[in-house]
Amino acid sequence: MNLPLLFDTVVLHAHEAKKLYISGDLHSACLRTGEALRGATALLEILSNPSILPSTQTLHNAAAVTASAVAYAATPQHTSSQQPLVSTPTAYPSHLLSTSLYHQPASTDVYSTNPALPPNEPVSEYMAVDLADPVQKTQQTDTFEDDDTQEQYTPSTMLSNPVIMQALDDVFFDFLANVCSNLDAHDRFGVKIHHTLTALKVSRLAETGGFARFKVRIKSFTQAFMDEVERFSKQLPQLANVHRHIVQSYLLQQRYLCRFSEESKKFKSNGFLVWVVGARKTIHNEEVQWEFRDFVPDIVGPEPVESIRIGEHFTYKPRVYDPQSRGTSL
């Protein structure tokens, strides 16, 4: 998302609202103020949670605020019989009328992001550069990547690359083996990854030969795995552009992590949201090895009737259990 453009849009709405208020048009001033407030609220939600994808409503509000600024700038303003106190037109930046909110091509043009000020208006420090002599302006360059480059680093594109997936799988299984081998494993903040797991249970894994259920705290497990991917990205160039959102998407579709029970409910343990890992510990030549269970969709009922009569209407709607999603049905 083009956040600098959204900042510009909020500033323009606010300045136009001020002009309308000074000229006595309170109704239009309220409308412009509402648009500025909606854009500022969207900015606040995005900046307060930079690691989380914005909600659909936030993206809609951001796009609507920018679209209203474009429409308002393109509409000719009607002059009223009453002479306004401020007659200086608002200088909308040219890049606002032709640039999408989500993608902005690279440019080396110098442009002003601040409207012209009325006479005797005090000049704030951040406006001083734009109102100075153009020769003294510092050239600014947009650093946003083009559409093709941004599309290259989306989760769907990155996770469909077999080379990147293979590198992530190698890091994941090595990380999972280390977590299962270390009961005191924790994230960078010192929060333990394991939940309600005792050393006695782990010691019996090799004796029983079956798969044990490891419960891991989602937040600390995800944070620790993100740090592991970042550490390996210095050695594996294919992981150089794998950011947090891609790692989160990778874990959410990882079939070796069980996220939902057969009742389509998230796993909880003592109030904590957890994921379940099925692991089996084996020892070969005094070397500990781990085998992990993959959780795949399955039909869990209801059972069909035992007998069917000829000529009668028969229906059967099985329920599908998907460990990675909720409410899957045929």
End-to-end CA distance of the chain: 37
Residue 144 resides in a domain: yes
With 0-12 / 13-18 / 19 or more C-beta atoms within 10 angstroms meaning exposed / middle / buried, residue 142 is: middle
For residue 183, name the pLDDT band (cuts at 50, 70, 90): confident
- Claim to verify: residue 87 and residue 128 sit in the same structural domain: yes
CA dihedral 43, 46, 47, 51 (to 10 degrees): -170
For residue 314, tell me if it sits in a domain.
no
Q: Are residues 36 and 14 in the same domain?
A: yes
Same domain, 167 and 256: yes
Query: How confident is the model at residue 143, as a pLDDT?
Result: 35
Quick one: pLDDT at residue 240? 84
Same domain, 175 and 107: no
Residues 7 and 144 both lie in one domain = yes
Decide if 329 is inside a domain.
Answer: no
In this prediction, residue 228 has a pLDDT band, given cuts at 50, 70 and 90, of very high
Do 108 and 235 sit in the same domain of this protein? no
176 lies in the same domain as 250: yes
Higher pLDDT, 215 or 210: 215
Percent of the residues in the chain that have a pLDDT greater than 90, as a whole number: 11
Between 164 and 101, the more confident residue is 164
87, part of any domain: yes
Lowest mean pLDDT among 93-102, 184-193, 236-245, 254-263: 93-102
Domain range enclosing 94: 3-150
Q: What per-residue confidence (pLDDT) applies to 149?
A: 41
* Shared-domain flag, residues 190 and 236: yes
277: closest CA among 292, 296, 262, 297? 292
Residue 19 and residue 129 in one domain: yes
- Amino acid 34: pLDDT: 82
pLDDT > 90? residue 172:
yes
Same structural domain, 162 and 94: no
Which residue did the predictor score with more confidence, 185 or 300? 185
The residue ranking higher by pLDDT, 81 or 304, is 304
Look at 10 and 228; give whichever has higher pLDDT.
Answer: 228
Per-residue model confidence (pLDDT) at position 76: 58
Same domain, 121 and 146: yes
In a domain, 327, yes or no: no
Helix (H) or strand (E) holding 298: strand 298-301
Greater confidence (326 vs 249) lies with 249
Q: How confident is the model at residue 194 (pLDDT cuts 50, 70, 90)?
A: confident
Flag whether 25 is in a domain.
yes
For residue 225, is pLDDT > 90? yes
**Among the three residues 292, 307, 325, which one is the final residue of a domain in this structure?**
292
**Whole-model pTM over 0.85:** no
DSSP string, 95-147: HHHH--SS-----------SPPPPTTPPPPGGGHHHHS-GGGSPP-------H
Q: Is residue 158 part of a domain?
A: yes
* Tokens describing residue 175: 């990380």
Residue 326: band (very low, low, confident or very high) from pLDDT cuts 50, 70, 90: confident
Provide the pLDDT for residue 314.
Answer: 82
Mean pLDDT of 221-236: 91
* Domain match, 171 and 135 both: no
CA angle 178, 183, 187 (to 5 degrees): 70
pLDDT of residue 28: 81
What is the pLDDT, as a whole number, of residue 286? Answer: 78
What is the reported pLDDT for 168?
Answer: 93
Lowest mean pLDDT among 13-27, 115-129, 174-188, 295-309: 115-129
Domains identified in the chain, total number:
2
Is residue 69 domain-resident?
A: yes
In degrees, to the nearest 5, what angle opens at C-alpha 256 toward C-alphas 252 and 261?
75
Mean pLDDT (the chain, rounded)? 72
296 or 153, higher pLDDT: 296
| Structure tokens that stand for 170 in this block | 């190698």
The pair of three-digit structure tokens given for residue 168, joined into one six-digit string: 């992530």
| pLDDT score recorded for residue 223 | 93
How does pLDDT run across 25-75, given as a tens digit for each residue? 888 888 888 888 888 888 787 887 776 667 767 776 777 767 777 666 666
